[in-house]
């Protein structure tokens, strides 16, 4: 299972690979950096907070926030 941010990152990376001009490539690279440096860490924090608040899937049998995040996104 991929998180929404990981799915968006995959799509943007595909667009980057198909970029036709250097300007488009540069812009796509900026978007990739924003997603990886801001979006994914923020999403990870949200998953951790949800775990701490008890809003997680107890069927996963996971006991700490990092482990919960890693199993959810299959890292």
Q: What is the pLDDT of residue 75?
A: 47
The per-residue pLDDT for range 6-58, each reduced to its tens digit, is 899 999 999 989 888 998 889 889 999 999 999 999 988 887 777 776 655 56
β strands within 1-75, DSSP E: none
Which residue, 33, 22, 52, 36, is CA-closest to 66? 52
Tokens of 1: 């299972």
Q: What is the pLDDT of residue 10?
A: 92
Distance separating the N- and C-terminal Cα atoms of the chain: 10
């Amino acid at each position: 299972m991929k998180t929404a941010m990981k799915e968006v990152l995959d799509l943007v990376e595909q667009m980057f690979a198909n970029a036709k001009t250097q300007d488009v490539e540069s812009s796509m690279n900026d978007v990739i950096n924003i997603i990886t440096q801001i979006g994914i860490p923020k999403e990870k924090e949200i998953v951790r907070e949800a775990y701490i608040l008890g809003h997680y899937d107890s069927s996963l049998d996971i006991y700490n926030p990092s482990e919960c995040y890693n199993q959810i996104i299959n890292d």
